[in-house]
Structure 1
Amino acid sequence: MQLTLTSTHLTIDLDWQERLWACHIGSAIQVPLEQIIAVSCDRPDTSWREIRAPGTFFPGVIKAGTYYTERGREFWYATPPWQILNLRLRDHYYKGIYLALADNQSWCDRLQPQA
Protein backbone atom coordinates (compact mmCIF):
# COMPACT_ATOMS: atom_id res chain seq x y z
CA MET A 1 0.00 0.00 0.00
CA GLN A 2 1.26 3.43 -0.95
CA LEU A 3 0.03 6.63 0.68
CA THR A 4 0.51 9.94 -1.13
CA LEU A 5 -0.20 13.31 0.43
CA THR A 6 -0.78 16.45 -1.63
CA SER A 7 -1.94 19.86 -0.48
CA THR A 8 -5.59 18.83 -1.00
CA HIS A 9 -5.85 15.01 -0.93
CA LEU A 10 -4.63 11.82 0.65
CA THR A 11 -4.43 9.01 -1.90
CA ILE A 12 -4.31 5.40 -0.75
CA ASP A 13 -3.03 3.17 -3.58
CA LEU A 14 -3.70 -0.53 -3.09
CA ASP A 15 -1.68 -3.19 -4.90
CA TRP A 16 -3.45 -6.10 -6.59
CA GLN A 17 -3.19 -8.39 -3.55
CA GLU A 18 -4.61 -5.76 -1.22
CA ARG A 19 -7.45 -5.12 -3.67
CA LEU A 20 -8.12 -8.87 -3.80
CA TRP A 21 -8.25 -9.32 0.01
CA ALA A 22 -10.31 -6.14 0.44
CA CYS A 23 -12.60 -7.01 -2.50
CA HIS A 24 -11.97 -3.44 -3.69
CA ILE A 25 -12.34 -2.88 -7.43
CA GLY A 26 -10.48 0.43 -7.70
CA SER A 27 -6.77 0.71 -7.12
CA ALA A 28 -6.97 3.96 -5.12
CA ILE A 29 -9.05 5.66 -2.46
CA GLN A 30 -9.05 9.46 -2.63
CA VAL A 31 -9.70 11.42 0.55
CA PRO A 32 -9.95 15.22 0.43
CA LEU A 33 -8.05 16.57 3.44
CA GLU A 34 -10.99 18.82 4.38
CA GLN A 35 -13.06 15.67 5.04
CA ILE A 36 -10.66 14.32 7.68
CA ILE A 37 -12.14 15.24 11.06
CA ALA A 38 -9.98 13.07 13.35
CA VAL A 39 -6.75 11.08 13.09
CA SER A 40 -5.32 8.70 15.66
CA CYS A 41 -3.08 5.70 16.02
CA ASP A 42 -5.44 3.93 18.38
CA ARG A 43 -6.96 0.65 17.40
CA PRO A 44 -10.70 1.29 17.30
CA ASP A 45 -13.15 -0.78 19.27
CA THR A 46 -14.58 -3.58 17.20
CA SER A 47 -17.76 -5.37 17.94
CA TRP A 48 -19.56 -8.48 16.86
CA ARG A 49 -22.18 -6.15 15.35
CA GLU A 50 -20.28 -5.62 12.12
CA ILE A 51 -21.32 -6.64 8.66
CA ARG A 52 -18.50 -7.39 6.22
CA ALA A 53 -19.70 -6.56 2.74
CA PRO A 54 -17.46 -7.32 0.92
CA GLY A 55 -14.16 -8.20 2.52
CA THR A 56 -11.94 -10.74 4.20
CA PHE A 57 -11.54 -11.59 7.87
CA PHE A 58 -9.35 -14.23 9.49
CA PRO A 59 -8.98 -13.57 13.25
CA GLY A 60 -5.44 -12.52 14.14
CA VAL A 61 -4.38 -12.56 10.46
CA ILE A 62 -6.27 -9.98 8.38
CA LYS A 63 -9.24 -7.66 8.39
CA ALA A 64 -9.78 -6.11 4.97
CA GLY A 65 -12.60 -4.59 3.00
CA THR A 66 -15.80 -2.67 3.64
CA TYR A 67 -17.50 -3.07 7.01
CA TYR A 68 -20.80 -1.64 8.20
CA THR A 69 -20.66 -0.79 11.90
CA GLU A 70 -22.47 1.41 14.39
CA ARG A 71 -20.02 4.16 13.34
CA GLY A 72 -21.05 3.86 9.66
CA ARG A 73 -19.41 2.40 6.53
CA GLU A 74 -15.68 1.79 7.07
CA PHE A 75 -12.72 0.60 5.01
CA TRP A 76 -10.21 -1.68 6.71
CA TYR A 77 -6.86 -3.07 5.67
CA ALA A 78 -5.17 -4.33 8.81
CA THR A 79 -2.69 -7.11 9.48
CA PRO A 80 -0.34 -7.84 12.40
CA PRO A 81 1.29 -6.13 14.25
CA TRP A 82 -1.94 -4.09 14.20
CA GLN A 83 -0.37 -0.63 14.19
CA ILE A 84 -3.46 1.14 12.92
CA LEU A 85 -3.81 4.56 11.32
CA ASN A 86 -7.38 5.56 12.19
CA LEU A 87 -9.04 8.24 10.00
CA ARG A 88 -12.53 9.54 10.82
CA LEU A 89 -14.20 11.29 7.88
CA ARG A 90 -17.23 13.46 7.12
CA ASP A 91 -19.09 13.72 3.81
CA HIS A 92 -17.14 10.80 2.33
CA TYR A 93 -18.20 7.39 1.06
CA TYR A 94 -16.46 5.92 4.13
CA LYS A 95 -16.98 7.28 7.65
CA GLY A 96 -13.71 5.69 8.73
CA ILE A 97 -10.56 4.28 7.17
CA TYR A 98 -8.29 1.98 9.17
CA LEU A 99 -4.88 1.00 7.77
CA ALA A 100 -2.05 -1.04 9.25
CA LEU A 101 1.17 0.88 8.57
CA ALA A 102 4.67 0.39 9.91
CA ASP A 103 5.04 4.19 10.15
CA ASN A 104 1.52 4.94 11.38
CA GLN A 105 2.67 7.52 13.96
CA SER A 106 4.40 9.54 11.25
CA TRP A 107 1.22 9.56 9.15
CA CYS A 108 -0.82 10.36 12.22
CA ASP A 109 1.29 13.48 12.84
CA ARG A 110 1.18 14.56 9.18
CA LEU A 111 -2.60 14.16 8.81
CA GLN A 112 -3.81 15.93 11.94
CA PRO A 113 -6.59 18.31 10.90
CA GLN A 114 -5.58 21.96 11.04
CA ALA A 115 -7.77 24.21 13.18
Structure 2
Amino acid sequence: MVAITTINETISFEIMGWHKIWSLQNKLSIPKEKIIKAYQDESEFTFWKGLRIPGTEIPRLITAGTFYKNGRNFWDVSNKKNASVITLRDHYFKKLIIEVENPEAVLQQINTP
Protein backbone atom coordinates (compact mmCIF):
# COMPACT_ATOMS: atom_id res chain seq x y z
CA MET A 1 0.00 0.00 0.00
CA VAL A 2 1.08 3.56 -0.69
CA ALA A 3 0.42 6.73 1.34
CA ILE A 4 0.25 9.98 -0.61
CA THR A 5 1.07 13.45 0.69
CA THR A 6 1.32 16.78 -1.11
CA ILE A 7 3.93 19.31 -0.03
CA ASN A 8 4.03 22.52 -2.09
CA GLU A 9 4.10 21.34 -5.72
CA THR A 10 5.52 17.87 -5.01
CA ILE A 11 3.53 14.71 -4.41
CA SER A 12 5.21 12.07 -2.26
CA PHE A 13 4.28 8.42 -2.62
CA GLU A 14 5.49 6.56 0.48
CA ILE A 15 5.52 2.78 0.25
CA MET A 16 4.26 1.26 3.48
CA GLY A 17 5.29 -1.79 5.51
CA TRP A 18 6.56 -4.94 3.85
CA HIS A 19 5.80 -3.46 0.44
CA LYS A 20 9.10 -1.57 0.76
CA ILE A 21 10.92 -4.89 0.62
CA TRP A 22 8.78 -6.36 -2.17
CA SER A 23 9.01 -3.25 -4.36
CA LEU A 24 12.60 -2.33 -3.45
CA GLN A 25 11.51 1.30 -3.00
CA ASN A 26 10.83 3.50 0.03
CA LYS A 27 9.43 6.68 -1.43
CA LEU A 28 8.84 8.39 -4.75
CA SER A 29 8.64 12.18 -4.93
CA ILE A 30 7.22 13.60 -8.13
CA PRO A 31 6.66 17.25 -9.06
CA LYS A 32 2.97 17.84 -9.77
CA GLU A 33 3.84 19.29 -13.20
CA LYS A 34 5.08 15.84 -14.32
CA ILE A 35 1.75 14.16 -13.56
CA ILE A 36 -0.57 13.92 -16.55
CA LYS A 37 -3.56 12.31 -14.85
CA ALA A 38 -4.69 9.75 -12.29
CA TYR A 39 -7.46 7.24 -12.94
CA GLN A 40 -8.71 3.74 -12.23
CA ASP A 41 -8.67 1.21 -15.08
CA GLU A 42 -8.89 -2.54 -14.61
CA SER A 43 -7.57 -3.13 -18.15
CA GLU A 44 -4.10 -2.37 -16.73
CA PHE A 45 -4.28 -5.63 -14.76
CA THR A 46 -3.33 -8.08 -17.46
CA PHE A 47 -1.65 -11.37 -16.61
CA TRP A 48 1.72 -10.13 -17.89
CA LYS A 49 2.75 -6.90 -16.19
CA GLY A 50 6.00 -6.67 -18.13
CA LEU A 51 9.63 -7.55 -17.64
CA ARG A 52 10.38 -7.37 -13.90
CA ILE A 53 13.50 -5.26 -13.23
CA PRO A 54 13.65 -5.56 -10.08
CA GLY A 55 10.54 -6.42 -8.16
CA THR A 56 8.19 -9.10 -6.88
CA GLU A 57 5.26 -10.78 -8.56
CA ILE A 58 3.15 -13.54 -7.08
CA PRO A 59 0.08 -13.89 -9.31
CA ARG A 60 -3.19 -12.87 -7.61
CA LEU A 61 -1.28 -11.91 -4.45
CA ILE A 62 1.12 -9.01 -5.11
CA THR A 63 2.84 -7.10 -7.87
CA ALA A 64 5.48 -4.69 -6.60
CA GLY A 65 8.53 -3.04 -8.09
CA THR A 66 9.70 -1.89 -11.49
CA PHE A 67 8.25 -3.55 -14.58
CA TYR A 68 9.03 -2.72 -18.20
CA LYS A 69 6.05 -2.85 -20.59
CA ASN A 70 5.64 0.02 -23.06
CA GLY A 71 7.99 1.97 -20.81
CA ARG A 72 9.18 1.66 -17.21
CA ASN A 73 6.31 1.38 -14.73
CA PHE A 74 6.21 1.18 -10.94
CA TRP A 75 3.74 -1.26 -9.37
CA ASP A 76 2.63 -1.74 -5.79
CA VAL A 77 -0.70 -3.57 -5.81
CA SER A 78 -2.14 -6.45 -3.87
CA ASN A 79 -5.84 -5.46 -4.08
CA LYS A 80 -6.67 -4.14 -7.54
CA LYS A 81 -10.00 -2.67 -6.35
CA ASN A 82 -8.01 -0.02 -4.47
CA ALA A 83 -5.50 0.58 -7.25
CA SER A 84 -4.95 3.86 -9.07
CA VAL A 85 -2.97 4.49 -12.23
CA ILE A 86 -0.94 7.69 -12.46
CA THR A 87 0.57 8.59 -15.83
CA LEU A 88 3.70 10.72 -15.91
CA ARG A 89 5.66 12.75 -18.46
CA ASP A 90 9.42 13.31 -18.57
CA HIS A 91 10.03 11.07 -15.57
CA TYR A 92 11.97 7.87 -14.90
CA PHE A 93 8.64 6.01 -14.70
CA LYS A 94 5.93 6.23 -17.35
CA LYS A 95 3.19 5.06 -14.95
CA LEU A 96 2.65 4.38 -11.28
CA ILE A 97 0.12 1.62 -10.60
CA ILE A 98 -0.36 1.77 -6.86
CA GLU A 99 -2.77 0.56 -4.21
CA VAL A 100 -4.08 3.25 -1.88
CA GLU A 101 -6.49 3.23 1.04
CA ASN A 102 -9.06 5.56 -0.56
CA PRO A 103 -8.78 5.66 -4.38
CA GLU A 104 -11.50 8.30 -4.89
CA ALA A 105 -9.80 10.78 -2.54
CA VAL A 106 -6.41 10.15 -4.16
CA LEU A 107 -7.79 10.69 -7.66
CA GLN A 108 -9.33 13.96 -6.56
CA GLN A 109 -6.13 15.05 -4.78
CA ILE A 110 -3.94 14.36 -7.80
CA ASN A 111 -6.29 15.57 -10.55
CA THR A 112 -7.14 18.87 -8.84
CA PRO A 113 -4.97 21.67 -10.29
TM range (shorter): 0.7 to 0.9
Partner of residue 8, structure 1: 9
Q: How far apart, CA to CA, are the structure 2 residues paired with 1:49 and 1:23? A: 17
Q: How far apart, CA to CA, are the structure 1 residues paired with 2:90 and 2:17? A: 27
SS at match of 2:111: coil
Per residue, is there more helix in 1 or in 2? 2
Moved more, 80-89 or 56-65: 80-89
User: TM-score normalised to the size of structure 1?
Assistant: 0.86
SS at match of 1:64: strand
Task: Tell me the C-alpha RMSD between the 2 structures.
Answer: 1.8
User: TM-score normalised to the size of structure 2?
Assistant: 0.87
Relative to 1, partners in 2 of residues 1:113 and 1:68: Cα closer, same or farther, differing over 3 Å?
A: farther
Q: How far apart, CA to CA, are the structure 1 residues paired with 2:59 and 2:47? A: 13
Deviation at 1:2, TM superposition (A): 2.3
Structure 2 counterpart of 1:51, which letter? L
Moved more, 43-52 or 79-88: 43-52
For residues 90-105 of structure 1, the aligned pairs below 5 Å read: 90-105=89-104
Moved more, 34-43 or 85-94: 34-43
Deviation at 1:81, TM superposition (A): 4.8
Contact 2:4/2:106, CA 8 A, preserved across alignment = no
SS at match of 2:18: helix
Relative to 1, partners in 2 of residues 1:107 and 1:50: Cα closer, same or farther, differing over 3 Å?
A: same
Structure 2, gaps ≥5 residues long: none
Structure 1, gaps ≥5 residues long: none
Deviation at 1:109, TM superposition (A): 1.1
Task: Give structure 1 regions of 4+ aligned residues with deviation exceeding 6 angstroms.
Answer: none
